[in-house]
């Protein structure tokens, strides 16, 4: 595929609004067999109201309030809502200052700007509900997801919940309560109540980061205690000659100033290369050269690249041997860690010295699908002679059997010496930190609440959780929630007998592997409870649904505080209450306290102080980096008057911005310039002097041979790896698809989709209208089974089947199907087929590696669907319909 932006003239600049507009047009552009780059003259900076109260164009007078955009969406943007007589009437985005690459506005995307339609949507849950066929003594679990709902009072609902928990504890012990708090830490308001009540079984996963969850930390490939800080900051990106992007799509998944940063590098002249089965919007925007690679085969590709670098090095001097010697262990027989058999080195594995199989270009090409020429091109591109950024998203690590992939990325980056110097960087980068490494310049404060321990140590990995409910056993690998250090210990089989599933966060039934097994598991237990704002998948398969308020209905908060991810490093959003709580929806601290009261727990033990005090504590402890680039000082000036107005306890303090200004503006953004002290070069101290600044590994260096990683993964017992990065065929991946007589000859990936943030926003009418929800197929694959553009197509895997209308494209390599992530499952009970295209309806429970999910390499087949094409999503009725006056 050609590079679209090569045609950009000097002086023709991409307007940032076009990112959004480009987005809305993509389905059509992909349908036309290409991708799309929006090139248009810049139309000038946004001007706009700065006051708290203003008149808008249509003559309506209202107050602009900074609104939370609290989703796990890859961005953090400034969104404001015009509120008139307590009602939101329109939205706008950042106009607090003029826009420039140095000091970019934090502009919202199409989702954030449609948020009114979400918060106020027709299907917002209005009151507590009970499934009609459920009663404590006769749960009729088989009716979950098929039953009708009835309205109940909060008292009834809370009584049912508390009694259900108490009964499970009495009869089966606390271990029988599976509390699922979502993907991140798993800690929610209900963790406090359940912790004080004797505990619960936890759920853990690596859904987001895949094998980046642990591999970087054991191999030394982390900085500032994080995997996403091994790349330099956005200014330094502009100094690169070449930027190689692997499995990245910031134009969809890191909206706003992050993608703007890559564009500055393009303007500065960088050459872009992408490694991906999908020539996506980002690559097209940046005019990247495309190396198509089959899902889950990046290790094969990179081993081929390593081989090619070794082969060409004697003539072309591609490899930085000094860097390898100084900063790594395990590369060749002369660089082994003490006590390790020299034959166990990486170079001899690549050359095939001992196993007789050189991992050469031909070998790699056969597996990964990239051509020998493309592999050679990559080897040359990664040369030490150039300033290279080798950047990766996590999608390629959300694949089974790739526990070594981050280590191999590190190895190939190290071969070119691409670390620790300006213009050189290697690492993972995505979400709101995409393309902009470095410590947060503004750091969220703490709400000051004491932690509450979970006395139960059971914790079940996402790849086993539904099987565990159904089969009564699982592999215990350590206690604690997902972020716990002990989670990755030696695996031991344990019995488990789950009777209650309690969803208090996340969309886990929807977003974890093996949804079909998950539905069965939900149908087995005595009680399922969900906190929800809409009738989400979790809620749909529950017995009791408790309606909760959104962030718009809370007093306020900060983007780096209670939210899943903090902002990009340069800013913090301070949002305020937009509307009063809707209908009978309640806050979750209230629910946790009410349930606690019913269980005989002292309510003060759950929440010793209220939400306003929590807000104040976070406000007062927010810190900002001083102009010296080193010292952190209080961010906010707070007066006694502010404290009195808030009605909290605390002392006045001096900071850099007044509380009033922060609330008015809604954002604290650190202004940057090329010569400020906020620049960041990852690994600089280490690379300058590895002895004085060793890494946190046994050798103090980057471990290309990493015994600790192999011991950890092998100890967990799900699957096996070696201490050096090797190619391991993926459990449900390409080799299976390509096998003789395979019923599933294709592979399906789940790009994070612009229309949604995971499952969130899927019910928003504006977004449904603007942005279709097809399955993307390679044109030749589709035509070979008689599927034309727009036809309904059945996508089946060994685990389940979904139907969607097809969009044919040449932007997807042959053999690969792209099913956008996050559509709310809608099972046809007669056929068992999902009509919504839910990605995890196709995945299964396959325990693996460090607990990694296999989202992006699932095998599948496509068939023409013998029914009609599906009606557009926007014409579907809402999941929860309310009658007049309800």
> What share of residues in the chain are helix, strand, coil (percent, to 5)?
30, 20, 50
CA–CA distance, 37 with 287 (Å, rounded to integer) = 9
CA-nearest of 612, 637, 634, 654 to 442 is 634
Taking the least distance from each CB to ligand MGD, the nearer of 263 and 279 is 279
CA–CA distance, 304 with 168 (Å, rounded to integer) = 55
Choose the binding region for ligand SF4 from 48-56, 67-75, 324-332, 722-730 (rule: CB under 6 A): 67-75
Judged by beta carbon distances under 5 to 8 A according to partner kind, the member of ligand SF4, ligand MGD, Mo ion, none in contact with residue 516 is: none
Choose the binding region for ligand SF4 from 74-82, 146-154, 380-388, 401-409 (rule: CB under 6 A): 74-82
* Residue 666 C-beta: closest distance to ligand SF4, Å: 13
On whether the CB atoms of residues 844 and 706 are closer than 8 A, the answer is no
Among 112, 261, 295, 518, binds ligand MGD (CB under 6 A): 295
Judged by beta carbon distances under 5 to 8 A according to partner kind, the member of Mo ion, ligand SF4, ligand MGD, none in contact with residue 76 is: ligand SF4
Among 37, 201, 208, 559, binds ligand MGD (CB under 6 A): 208
**How many residues bind to Mo ion according to rule CB under 5 A?**
1
CA–CA distance, 843 with 515 (Å, rounded to integer) = 7
CA-nearest of 473, 466, 563 to 523 is 466
Show the DSSP H helices in 694-788 as ranges.
707-716, 734-738, 765-770, 779-784
Told to check if 73 binds ligand MGD by CB under 6 A, we report: yes
Among 246, 456, 599, 859, binds ligand MGD (CB under 6 A): 246
- Site residues for ligand MGD, window 119-138 (CB under 6 A)? none
* Residue 56 C-beta: closest distance to ligand MGD, Å: 28
Judged by beta carbon distances under 5 to 8 A according to partner kind, the member of ligand SF4, Mo ion, ligand MGD, none in contact with residue 69 is: ligand SF4
The two structure tokens encoding residue 829? 């009970």
Taking the least distance from each CB to Mo ion, the nearer of 430 and 721 is 430
3-state secondary structure string across 121-185: CCCCCCCCEEECCCECCECCHHHCCCCCEEECCHHHHHHHHHHHHHHHHHHHCHHHEEEECCCCC
CA–CA distance, 500 with 601 (Å, rounded to integer) = 20
10 Å CB burial of residue 735 (0-12, 13-18, 19+) is: middle
Cα distances from 318 to residues 244, 315, 733, 737, in angstroms, run: 16, 8, 32, 35
* Residue 249 C-beta: closest distance to ligand MGD, Å: 4
10 Å CB burial of residue 638 (0-12, 13-18, 19+) is: buried
Binding mask 533-572 for ligand MGD (x = CB under 6 A): x--x-----------x------------------------
Binding mask 83-122 for ligand SF4 (x = CB under 6 A): -------------------------xx-xx----------
Told to check if 76 binds ligand SF4 by CB under 6 A, we report: yes
Q: Which helix (H) or strand (E) holds 801?
A: strand 801-809
Told to check if 249 binds ligand MGD by CB under 6 A, we report: yes
CA-based end-to-end distance of the chain: 54
* Residue 427 C-beta: closest distance to ligand MGD, Å: 13
Binding mask 609-638 for ligand MGD (x = CB under 6 A): ------------------------------
Judged by beta carbon distances under 5 to 8 A according to partner kind, the member of Mo ion, ligand SF4, ligand MGD, none in contact with residue 855 is: ligand MGD
Judged by beta carbon distances under 5 to 8 A according to partner kind, the member of ligand MGD, Mo ion, ligand SF4, none in contact with residue 752 is: ligand MGD
CA–CA distance, 113 with 78 (Å, rounded to integer) = 10
CA–CA distance, 427 with 230 (Å, rounded to integer) = 5
Taking the least distance from each CB to ligand SF4, the nearer of 443 and 764 is 764
Compute the CA torsion angle 529, 532, 535, 539 (nearest 10 deg). Answer: -20
Told to check if 280 binds ligand MGD by CB under 6 A, we report: yes
Told to check if 757 binds ligand SF4 by CB under 6 A, we report: yes
Longest dimension (CA), the chain: 80
Among 35, 72, 96, 258, binds ligand MGD (CB under 6 A): 72
Cβ neighbours for 661, distance < 8 A, ≥ 6 positions apart: none
Among 162, 430, 498, 748, binds ligand MGD (CB under 6 A): 430
Cβ neighbours for 251, distance < 8 A, ≥ 6 positions apart: 19, 22, 23, 259, 280, 281, 282, 285
Among 244, 500, 760, 817, binds ligand MGD (CB under 6 A): 760
The CB density around residue 866, as the number of other CB atoms within 10 Å, is 7
- Site residues for ligand MGD, window 389-408 (CB under 6 A)? 393-396, 398-399
Told to check if 511 binds Mo ion by CB under 5 A, we report: no
Among 391, 754, 792, 801, binds ligand MGD (CB under 6 A): 754
Told to check if 73 binds ligand SF4 by CB under 6 A, we report: yes
Taking the least distance from each CB to ligand SF4, the nearer of 566 and 621 is 566
* Residue 79 C-beta: closest distance to ligand SF4, Å: 6
- Site residues for ligand MGD, window 163-192 (CB under 6 A)? 182-183
The two structure tokens encoding residue 661? 């200004």
Among 208, 215, 383, 401, binds Mo ion (CB under 5 A): 208
Told to check if 69 binds ligand SF4 by CB under 6 A, we report: yes
* Residue 208 C-beta: closest distance to Mo ion, Å: 3
Told to check if 160 binds ligand MGD by CB under 6 A, we report: no
Binding mask 813-852 for ligand MGD (x = CB under 6 A): --------xx----------------xx--x---------
The partner residues of 760 in beta bridges, in order of sequence, read 757
Taking the least distance from each CB to ligand MGD, the nearer of 311 and 839 is 839
Told to check if 77 binds ligand SF4 by CB under 6 A, we report: yes
* Residue 540 C-beta: closest distance to ligand MGD, Å: 11
Cβ neighbours for 261, distance < 8 A, ≥ 6 positions apart: 234, 237, 434, 435, 436
10 Å CB burial of residue 341 (0-12, 13-18, 19+) is: exposed
**How many residues bind to ligand SF4 according to rule CB under 6 A?**
14
The two structure tokens encoding residue 487? 């989670």
CA–CA distance, 491 with 464 (Å, rounded to integer) = 13
DSSP 653: B
Among 614, 759, 807, 850, binds ligand MGD (CB under 6 A): 759
* Residue 112 C-beta: closest distance to ligand SF4, Å: 2
* Residue 256 C-beta: closest distance to ligand SF4, Å: 6
Cβ neighbours for 583, distance < 8 A, ≥ 6 positions apart: 124, 125, 126, 127, 547
Judged by beta carbon distances under 5 to 8 A according to partner kind, the member of ligand MGD, Mo ion, ligand SF4, none in contact with residue 26 is: none
* Residue 552 C-beta: closest distance to ligand SF4, Å: 12
Told to check if 561 binds ligand SF4 by CB under 6 A, we report: no
The residue whose two tokens read 């709580």 is 581
On whether the CB atoms of residues 564 and 549 are closer than 8 A, the answer is no
DSSP 586: B
Q: Tell me which residues touch ligand MGD (CB under 6 A).
A: 72-74, 182-183, 207-208, 246-249, 252-254, 275-278, 280, 293, 295-296, 298, 393-396, 398-399, 430-431, 504-508, 511, 531, 533, 536, 548, 588, 749-754, 756-760, 821-822, 839-840, 843, 855-856
Q: Which residues bind Mo ion (CB under 5 A)?
A: 208
Using CB under 6 A as the criterion, which residues of the chain lie in contact with ligand SF4 when the complex forms?
A: 69, 71, 73, 75-77, 79, 108-109, 111-112, 255-256, 757
């Amino acid at each position: 595929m050609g590079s679209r932006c090569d045609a950009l003239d000097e002086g023709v600049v991409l307007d940032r609004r076009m990112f959004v507009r480009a987005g809305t047009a993509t389905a059509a552009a992909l349908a036309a067999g290409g991708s799309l780059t929006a090139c248009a003259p810049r139309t000038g900076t946004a001007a706009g109201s700065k006051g708290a109260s203003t008149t808008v164009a249509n003559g309506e007078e209202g107050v602009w309030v900074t609104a939370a955009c609290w989703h796990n969406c890859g961005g953090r943007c400034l969104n404001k809502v015009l509120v008139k007589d307590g009602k939101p009437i329109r939205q706008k985005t950042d106009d607090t200052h003029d826009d420039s690459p140095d000091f970019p506005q934090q502009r919202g995307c199409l989702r954030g700007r449609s948020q009114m339609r979400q918060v106020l949507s027709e299907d917002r849950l209005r009151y507590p509900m009970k499934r009609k066929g459920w009663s404590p003594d006769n749960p009729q679990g088989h009716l979950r997801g098929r039953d009708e709902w009835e309205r109940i009072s909060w008292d009834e609902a809370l009584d049912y919940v508390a009694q259900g928990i108490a009964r499970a504890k009495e009869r089966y012990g606390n271990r029988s309560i599976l509390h699922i708090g979502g993907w991140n830490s798993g800690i929610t308001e209900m963790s406090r109540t359940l912790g004080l009540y004797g505990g619960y079984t936890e759920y853990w996963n690596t859904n987001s980061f895949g094998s980046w969850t642990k591999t970087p930390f054991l191999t030394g490939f982390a900085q500032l205690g994080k995997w996403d800080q091994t790349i330099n900051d956005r200014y330094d990106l502009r100094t690169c000659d070449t930027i190689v992007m692997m499995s990245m799509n910031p134009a969809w998944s890191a909206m706003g100033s992050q993608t703007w940063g890559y564009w500055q590098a393009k303007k500065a002249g960088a050459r872009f290369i992408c490694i991906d089965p999908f020539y996506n919007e980002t690559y097209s925007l940046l005019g990247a050269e495309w190396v198509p690679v089959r899902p889950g085969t990046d290790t094969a590709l990179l081993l081929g690249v390593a081989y090619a670098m070794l082969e060409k090095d004697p003539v072309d001097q591609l490899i930085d041997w000094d860097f390898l010697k100084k900063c790594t262990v395990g590369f060749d027989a002369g660089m082994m860690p003490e006590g390790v058999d020299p034959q166990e080195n990486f170079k001899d594995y690549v050359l095939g010295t001992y196993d007789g199989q050189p991992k050469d270009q031909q070998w790699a090409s056969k597996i990964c699908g990239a051509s020998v020429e493309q592999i050679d091109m990559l080897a040359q591109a990664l040369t030490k002679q150039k300033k290279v950024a080798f950047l990766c998203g996590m999608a390629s690590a959300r694949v089974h059997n790739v526990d070594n992939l981050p280590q191999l990325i590190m190895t190939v980056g190290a071969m070119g010496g691409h670390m620790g110097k300006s213009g050189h960087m290697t690492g993972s980068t995505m979400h709101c930190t995409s393309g902009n490494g470095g410590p947060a310049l503004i750091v969220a404060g703490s709400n000051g609440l004491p932690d509450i321990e979970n006395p139960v140590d059971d914790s079940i990995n996402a790849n086993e959780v539904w099987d565990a409910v159904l089969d009564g056993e699982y592999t215990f690998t350590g206690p604690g929630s997902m972020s716990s250090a002990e989670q990755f210990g030696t695996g031991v089989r344990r019995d488990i007998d789950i009777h209650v599933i309690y969803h208090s966060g996340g969309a886990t039934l929807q977003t974890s592997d093996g949804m079909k097994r998950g539905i069965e598991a939900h149908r087995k237990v005595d009680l399922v409870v969900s906190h929800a704002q809409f009738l989400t998948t979790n809620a749909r398969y529950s017995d009791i649904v408790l309606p909760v308020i959104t962030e718009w209905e809370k007093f306020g908060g900060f983007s780096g505080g209670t939210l899943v991810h903090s902002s990009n490093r340069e800013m913090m959003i301070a949002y305020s209450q937009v509307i009063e709580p809707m209908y009978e929806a309640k806050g979750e601290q209230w629910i946790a306290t009410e349930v606690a009261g019913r269980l005989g727990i002292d309510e003060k033990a759950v929440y010793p102080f209220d939400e306003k005090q929590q807000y104040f504590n976070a406000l007062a402890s927010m810190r900002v980096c001083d102009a010296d680039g080193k010292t952190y000082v209080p961010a906010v000036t707070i007066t006694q008057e502010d404290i009195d107005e808030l009605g909290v306890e605390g002392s006045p303090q001096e900071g850099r911005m007044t509380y009033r200004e922060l609330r008015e503006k809604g954002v604290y953004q650190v202004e940057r310039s090329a010569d400020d002290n906020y620049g960041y070069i990852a690994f600089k101290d280490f690379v300058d002097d590895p002895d004085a600044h060793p890494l946190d590994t046994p050798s103090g260096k980057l471990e290309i041979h990493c015994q600790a990683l192999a011991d950890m993964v092998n100890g967990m017992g799900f699957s096996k790896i070696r201490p050096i990065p090797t190619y391991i065929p993926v459990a449900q991946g390409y080799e299976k698809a390509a096998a003789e007589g395979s019923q599933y000859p294709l592979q399906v990936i789940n790009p994070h989709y612009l229309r949604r943030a995971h499952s969130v926003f899927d019910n928003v009418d504006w977004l449904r209208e603007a942005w279709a929800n097809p399955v993307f197929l390679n044109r030749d694959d589709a035509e070979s089974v008689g599927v034309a553009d727009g036809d309904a197509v059945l996508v089946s895997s060994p685990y389940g089947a979904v139907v969607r209308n097809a969009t044919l494209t040449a932007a997807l390599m042959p053999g690969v199907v792209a099913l956008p992530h996050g559509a709310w499952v809608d099972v046809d009970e007669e056929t068992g087929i999902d009509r919504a295209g839910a990605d995890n309806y196709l995945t299964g429970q396959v325990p693996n590696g460090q607990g990694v999910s296999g989202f992006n390499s699932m095998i599948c087949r496509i068939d023409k669907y013998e029914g009609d094409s599906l009606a557009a999503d926007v014409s579907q009725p809402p999941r929860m319909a309310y009658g007049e006056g309800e």
